[in-house]
Amino acid sequence: MSAFVAPLIVDGENICITCEYAEAYIPEAIIINPDGAISPSAIAYESGSSFNTLGIFYIRFFNNEEDSRDSIPLHTMIYPNIIESYPSDATTSIYMTIGDAEPEKYRVLKYYQGDALMESTSRKSHTNCEMFMRLLSSARLPRSLTYDQVFTAWMDNYNINGMTPQVPAVVLQMIVSEMYRNPNNPSEQFSKVVGKNLKADPKGYVPMTMNQVSAYSSVMSALSFERITEKVTSALIMSKNGVPQKKSPVERIITM
């Protein structure tokens, strides 16, 4: 089977749509609302006629605007950096269910033939790295990325912007390993699932925030993190169900 080739073309300073019609889907949760509170995961925003967002999102390429969405394959744009896009319209929102995830509200960016999807050259900035990390830490990266693509995209983001994380790559790999969990057993890292079964679905994970990870790790981790009311409940459930827990060196010292 040949790889999918997106109907895009480099036209001067921009990469443009060559099909009749296309739609990109940006989660409303990451869009900055000028009239509302800004969440930690909000990185996308409108700026005049352009729309700025991380270049990792779902996209469809249509033969024409009348085609049903359900009849058009959903692809994932993977350019791990902030881009400036020029859709013809960015006012429509819809709910979509991707895989086994809960329905989520997405902003629909509508493109017609000749519209600029993004610039052909990158704008390097340390803030681009910060925004990628915010999206990752809020568990908002598209779930169509395979488990191994998450770390690769993170490193590519640093490389595109001419930056280095200033820590060994294994540290970033450990962060990804902790945040991506087994949906059937959230206390287990997804890396253990694929480590035991090489034929496991590489997209069969559930991404979690560090706050959620702490709730599933151990009673000590839960109680030492934020949102104490939630964590007391989580700790009681773990203790009642006899869930195996990891003991940190700090906990070993305290309980000596």
Tell me, yes or no, whether 129 lies in a domain: no
Q: Is residue 92 part of a domain?
A: yes
Q: What is the CA radius of gyration of the chain?
A: 20
Residue 124 resides in a domain: no
> 151 and 215 in one domain?
yes
Is residue 215 included in any domain, yes or no?
yes
Number of compact structural domains in the chain? 2
Domain check: are 173 and 224 in the same one? yes
The full length of the chain comes to: 256
Residues 225, 210: Cα–Cα separation, whole Å: 9
Distance CA 58, CA 133 (A): 19
Joined together, the tokens standing for residue 164 give 């280095």
Tally of CA atoms within 13 A in the half-sphere of 155 that contains its CB: 14
User: Domain limits at 20?
Assistant: 8-119
Q: Do 52 and 88 sit in the same domain of this protein?
A: yes
Residue 125, in any domain of the structure: no
What would the two tokens of residue 91 be? 């006012």
Residue 152 and residue 110 share a domain: no
Shared-domain flag, residues 55 and 153: no
Check whether residue 84 and residue 150 sit in a common domain: no
Give domain status of residue 133, yes or no: no
Is 19 among the domain residues?
yes
Main-chain phi, psi angles of 67, to 5 degrees: -60, 145
Measuring CA to CA, which residue among 185, 191, 198 is closest to residue 243?
Answer: 185
Instruction: Give the pLDDT score at 1.
Output: 42
Q: Is 241 in the same domain as 147?
A: yes
Whether residue 132 lies inside any domain: the answer is no
Residues 96-112 have pLDDT tens digits of 988 777 889 999 999 99
Low-confidence residues of the chain, pLDDT below 50?
1
115 and 165 both lie in a single domain: no
Residues 150, 76 share a domain: no
Q: Which of 119, 152, 170 is at the close of a domain?
A: 119
Its pTM stands at 0.80
> Looking at the structure, do residues 161 and 230 belong to the same domain, yes or no?
yes
Question: How would you write 207-240 as a 3-class SS string?
Answer: ECCHHHHHHHHCHHHHHCCCCHHHHHHHHHHHHH
Please name which of 107, 62, 69, 70 lies closest in space to residue 87, comparing C-alpha atoms: 107
Q: What is the predicted pLDDT for the residue at 64?
A: 87
One domain for residues 226 and 179 = yes
Return the pLDDT at 229: 57
214 plus 174 within the same structural domain: yes
- What distances in angstroms separate CA 243 from CA 32, 89, 228, 252, one per listed residue? 39, 50, 19, 18
